[in-house]
Amino acid sequence: MTEVALAPLGLVLVTVWLMLPAYLANTIASIVGGGPPIDDGRNWNDGRRILGDGKTWRGLIGGTLGGLLVGHLQMTAGAGFFSGYVSWGSSPYLIFFLLACGALAGDMAASFIKRRRGQERGAKSPLLDVYDFIIGALLLTALFGGEWLWYWVDPFTIFILIIATPILHRSVNILGYKLGVKQVPW
Ligand code: CTP
Ligand code: MG
């Protein structure tokens, strides 16, 4: 990560903090989602939906704006957390946008793959469901976020994301299910 060595727990918290706009973009999409689907109800050439009714414009736009808001709050109200260890780089809103939009793009890519495999909306796909949005967020920030990602990503922080993401994902989804914003607890 940085020149300053962080205790392992600190590094876990900072890593999760840096990815929070991506994690929450997905959660916010499930809260605000609904309405017209992105694929407009159309099918792929296999006769199945391109993405399905679970990928909507409201979810995509709301989740992206929500991720931007999360980043904004982290940078302003949350600036005191992990200060000295967290930097959003020279274009923080670009990073928030790439994290949130990348997360939702990864989630859409996963739905596309699930539909091609013949899985209906909401069907379980353990690996895809958990890692789709992290992969999307990392990919978009790697491609368009300049140096930001390389300032904190290394094999150890990737390892942290691999371990922490399923735990966070599962907890948030169970919570979402109990609150009634998600139809299934995964
Ligand atoms: N959602 C949305 N638009 C998005 C992403 C999510 O409206 N771009 C909402 C939908 O209401 C969706 C819910 O968030 O049902 C949960 O998202 P997710 O688990 O990704 O969708 P699923 O319904 O499980 O569909 P899929 O099988 O395609 O993943
Ligand atoms: Mg799902």
What's the 46 CA to ligand 2 centre distance in angstroms? 21
Is-contact 70 96, C-beta < 8 A?
yes
Question: Is the pTM higher than 0.95?
Answer: no
Q: Cβ(50) to ligand 1 under 6 A?
A: no
Q: Cβ(52) to ligand 1 under 6 A?
A: yes
Query: Alpha helices, DSSP H only, in the chain?
Result: 8-18, 20-32, 57-75, 92-116, 126-144, 148-152, 155-179
- Chain mean pLDDT for the chain: 93
User: Which of 23, 40, 58, 107 for a ligand 1 pocket mutation test, highest count of atoms within 8 Å of Cβ?
Assistant: 107
pLDDT digits (tens, 9 = 90+) for 12-29: 999 999 999 999 999 999
For residue 186, the ligand 1 atom closest to its alpha carbon is: 19
Q: Which ligand lies nearest the alpha carbon of 177?
A: 1
pLDDT digits (tens, 9 = 90+) for 112-144: 999 999 999 999 998 999 999 999 999 999 999
What's the 52 CA to ligand 1 centre distance in angstroms? 9
| pLDDT of amino acid 22 | 96
Residue-range domain boundaries for the chain: 8-178
Asked which of 41-45, 153-157, 179-183 is least confident by mean pLDDT, the reply is: 179-183
pLDDT digits (tens, 9 = 90+) for 137-173: 999 999 999 999 999 999 999 999 999 999 998 888 8
